[in-house]
A and B are shown apart, each in its own frame.
Chain A
């Protein structure tokens, strides 16, 4: 199931750390909302929870980066961009192939 469009509610049942892990695993752009109310859109490619000051790293929408953001400065992350790993490229290909084969078989039988 894709997380595309997800706006997680950080609270007792969902920690920021868990949301960061989901964002790290997500193959689309996300929006990092900072505690000061500002936000930044980009692709989150790295996170390090064991660093002295835990952080995430992103390339912004223009591809600039890496931009490092301290986890302490993050209020939440929303999954605003298209999930590029979602979809059915493989099944679509198989369906197209099956259709072609059926059409070819029908044509040769006609």
Chain B
């Protein structure tokens, strides 16, 4: 695990406060989508298919700050669209860092190198660069050649300037465990702080409907990929979530763990499904029919989902919610064995 101690302490104390307050539902990571515009059109992405007037719009700095305050989660992930296409992304990040939120700016890195000077290195800011594998796999996934090389160049530059950099990788059917292990070596050689992995979600609006991983295939792939992990591999996520992906845990989804805010409001019920919007975070938490979601609900859309935004919060809650979970997390962290 590669998460800095200060961040671990912040998250741990936040969760313990929620437990002491006996809150059954609490957010862990706010997914803040300031815009849907993107400079790529990846095959597996269902986030950017909107009419022109929607793609032209974006949240203001004030809207972003208000959403973060309203939500209260200690971590803010900024996906999109491509966040670096937002004309005031530097101001949004600066405002959130000033409130000591841990910000993960998720980017395809095409604009990262030229925009780096707008940002200041901070332990609260991480550039989470989208990398779906080695050059061939990544360029295939994003449907454009040359993107991998530009991302690598931008990662090097960001690291040289003292920024925290992680990678985020979405895996689809057909991914090679061997090639992914080579990819992990490559990313660690680049010097990134850690890597984040997740299987893709079968967005109904995504152009590619054929290559999403079903549950058993996900477990088989992650078992092959993460068996005997090398000590040098660092993952910027809960080790119990990785064990869940390998089929070693049977977690249920925590859809409120990563609430999503965008120009439409607070998205029900999660980052992946769009079943409507609430005007406030409180309304989202209080009026969403949570029992309709998750694998055990029988909801068809949830049956194959093992995505981080639903299950990482479960894994983290498991760590701090029981002695067994804590011992398991510590053991995996110390031994490096998943």
Contacts and interface: CB of A to CB of B under 8 A. Distances in A.
Interface of A: 24-25, 27-29, 42-43, 45-48, 57, 59-63, 66, 81-82, 84-85, 87-91, 93, 97
B88 interface: no
B277 A45 contact: yes
Contacts of B265: 46, 66
A84 B264 contact: no
Interface string B47-77: 0011101101100000000000000000000
B207 A87 contact: yes
Contact of B57 (A59, A61, A82, A97): A59
Given A89-B43, A90-B143, A46 B207 contact: no
A81 B54 CA distance: 13
A88 B207 contact: yes
A48 B140 contact: no
A59 B52 CA distance: 11
Q: How large is the interface on B (under 10, 10 to 19, 20 to 34, 35 or more residues)?
A: 20 to 34
Nearest to B43: A90
Nearest to B142: A93
A85 B276 CA distance: 18
Contacts of B50: 27, 43, 84
Contacts of B205: 27, 85
A62 B140 CA distance: 35
B207 A45 contact: no
A100 to B, nearest CB: 9
A58 B207 CA distance: 25
B152 interface: no
A28 B55 CA distance: 12
A45 B54 CA distance: 10
Contact of B49 (A27, A66, A81): A27
